[in-house]
Amino acid sequence: MDSVHPGATPTFPFDSAAILGAGLMGRLLAVTLAQAGCKIDLFEAGGPDAEGAAARVAAAMLAPLAESAIAPPSVVRMGHHALQRWPALLAPLAAPVFFQREGTLVLWHRQDAAEAARLARLLAHTTEIVPELPAMQTLDAAGIAALEPSIGRRFAQGLLLPDEGQLDNRGLLAALLATLQASPRVRLYWHSPRAIADFEPGAAGQPERVIDCRGLGARPQWSAVRGVRGEVIRVHAPEVGLVRPTRLVHPRYPLYIAPKPDKVFVIGATEIESEDMSPASVRSTLELLSAAYAVHSGFAEARILEIATQCRPTLPDNLPAFRQPRPGVLQINGLYRHGFMIAPAMLDVAMELLATGHSQLASNFDLPSELATASP
């Protein structure tokens, strides 16, 4: 069957769809399908501010090479695809969204040099397997200071992972919402939880397709989905001049700092195999803030805006997946900690599957190129 070129406006064999879940994937799909002429009903258990979505808490870093420390080549290729696609996805939205590709800076203290050397070897191996990625660059103290003058010469060595980027996750969610609200083809249903059993696709008075993007909310129908806890701190730090996402190599808590607009920074590291949604512990909070202060002393005078916890929807192999539990129903889940980095790739594959029942692009990402009806 024909494939759909990423970014092209496809023709779908249906005119209407119900989308369950208004997190990142749900909103992206709703906007894209509505732009293609489909009538969309979007159902969300929470409200329009996405308070219950993992995407609201995320740092939204687009760092395929950096993430290859824990992610397989398929996810790395998805991330590289996304870096090319995000500008086109952002352009038609109702409001501008902060997006940058200034690279990722990787730093370490002298006592962690062995861990940093291990990481460098792993990243070099990744660029051999995925040669389209730009090779990392080694930095000395002067090179680090030239990239991030506010750090000065606090670190003797570092790495730059060129062309990696990030965006403003909350700005994107808000822009997607505004775009949906302005579309005459979209009806939004807040505080309206739905399950796939509530629909009979194609029946009289029913949507022709149902797309389930509920993350952890889909567990009653997809029992393999689990939550992996993450904790992040958002701070306002006027004295911190970091321009690009910065990662600190550490054997126990590999810190990341993601600068957002208006001198807001997202600080995170923790990843816990738990579905506990309780507040962050004192220990993890102290570790995050102490590590951030070790990168830049300006964090000492930062103001804490939020300490947030959330569980990312994850499948047993930590990889994303599509599934068709019955004809006319598509489930998308398992984006794990890579939601913003891989969402454009998952979106483009979904567009092909919905348009033709087949995806040529899927083979690039080790995803099934056709959908078969799956059991729960």
pLDDT in tens, 22-35: 999 999 999 999 99
SS3 content of the chain, % helix, strand, coil (to 5): 35, 25, 40
Q: Which of 300, 237, 310 is nearest to 268 (CA)?
A: 310
Query: What percent of the chain shows pLDDT beyond 70?
Result: 95
pLDDT tens digits, 137-189? 999 999 999 999 999 889 999 999 999 999 999 999 999 999 999 999 999 99
Determine the Cα–Cα distance for residues 44 and 57; give it in Å rounded to an integer.
Answer: 17
pLDDT tens digits, 38-96? 999 999 999 999 988 999 999 999 999 999 999 999 999 999 999 999 999 999 999 99
Determine the Cα–Cα distance for residues 116 and 248; give it in Å rounded to an integer.
Answer: 9
Q: Which of 313, 327, 320 is nearest to 210 (CA)?
A: 327
Query: What percent of the chain shows pLDDT beyond 90?
Result: 86
Instruction: Write the DSSP assignment of 336-357 as a string of letters.
Output: GGGHHHHHHHHHHHHHHHHHHS
Residue range 228-233: average pLDDT? Answer: 92
Candidate from 4-8, 210-214, 317-321, 351-355 with smallest mean pLDDT: 4-8
pLDDT at 294: 92
pTM: 0.94
Q: Which of 138, 93, 50, 115 is nearest to 339 (CA)?
A: 50
Instruction: Evaluate if residue 372 carries a pLDDT over 80.
Output: no
What is the SS3 assignment for 138? strand
pLDDT at 338: 95
pLDDT tens digits, 248-282? 998 777 899 999 999 999 999 867 777 888 888 89
Task: Classify each residue of 138-159 as buried b or exposed e, where b means 16 or more C-beta atoms within 10 Å of its C-beta.
Answer: ebeeeebbebbeebeebbebbb
Determine the Cα–Cα distance for residues 72 and 67; give it in Å rounded to an integer.
Answer: 9
In the numeric block, the tokens 């590709």 are attached to: 101
Instruction: Evaluate if residue 376 carries a pLDDT over 80.
Output: no
Please give the structure tokens belonging to residue 214.
Answer: 């509920």
Determine the Cα–Cα distance for residues 168 and 163; give it in Å rounded to an integer.
Answer: 17
pLDDT at 11: 87
Determine the Cα–Cα distance for residues 124 and 199; give it in Å rounded to an integer.
Answer: 48
Other Cβ atoms less than 10 A from the Cβ of 192: the count is 13
pLDDT at 2: 47
pLDDT tens digits, 277-331? 888 889 889 989 999 999 999 999 999 999 999 899 999 999 999 999 999 999 9
Q: Which of 268, 224, 206 is nearest to 61 (CA)?
A: 268
Q: With cut-offs at 50, 70 and 90, classify the pLDDT of residue 370.
A: confident
